[in-house]
């Protein structure tokens, strides 16, 4: 696996974790972009965050609503299971115990 693949897989896991930690279990793409950069060192553009959210949606890990120029992502049960390490999804880094 290449270094860039590892970074993308880690970013996907972090996105799921951040959404899962939100009181409403949802977050918008703009806030995610800021948190990924400032807290986790993933310097993704807003377009890249949206791309990853769409990828996660395709795998039924999040549900997305469009709200103007941002995407609102809500974690789904399957996404929660990934965060908890109960299931593995290829392309998302497995969390450490």
Q: What CATH number is given to the structural domain containing 27?
A: 1.10.10.10
Calpha distance 66→54 (Å, rounded): 11
pLDDT along the chain (97 residues), means of 10: 91 97 95 94 94 98 96 98 97 90
Domain count of the fold of the chain: 1
Q: What is the pTM of this model?
A: 0.95
Distances (CA, A) of 11 to 16, 44, 68: 9, 9, 24
The pLDDT score that the predictor gives to residue 1 is: 80
* Domain assignment of residue 94, yes or no: no
In the chain, which residue ranges form alpha helices assigned H by DSSP? 3-21, 29-40, 46-58, 77-84
* Domain assignment of residue 97, yes or no: no
* Domain assignment of residue 91, yes or no: no
Which residue segment(s) compose the domain that 44 sits in? 3-84
Calpha distance 41→94 (Å, rounded): 18
**Cα torsion angle, 34, 73, 61, 97, sign:** positive
């Amino acid at each position: 696996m290449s270094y860039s693949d590892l970074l993308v897989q880690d970013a996907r896991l972090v996105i799921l974790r951040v959404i899962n930690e939100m009181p409403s279990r949802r977050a918008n793409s703009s806030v995610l972009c800021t948190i990924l950069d400032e807290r986790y060192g993933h310097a993704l553009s807003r377009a890249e965050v949206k791309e990853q959210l769409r990828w996660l949606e395709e795998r039924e890990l999040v549900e997305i609503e469009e709200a103007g120029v941002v995407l609102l992502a809500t974690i789904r049960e399957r996404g929660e299971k990934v965060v908890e390490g109960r299931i593995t999804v290829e392309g998302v880094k497995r969390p450490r115990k």
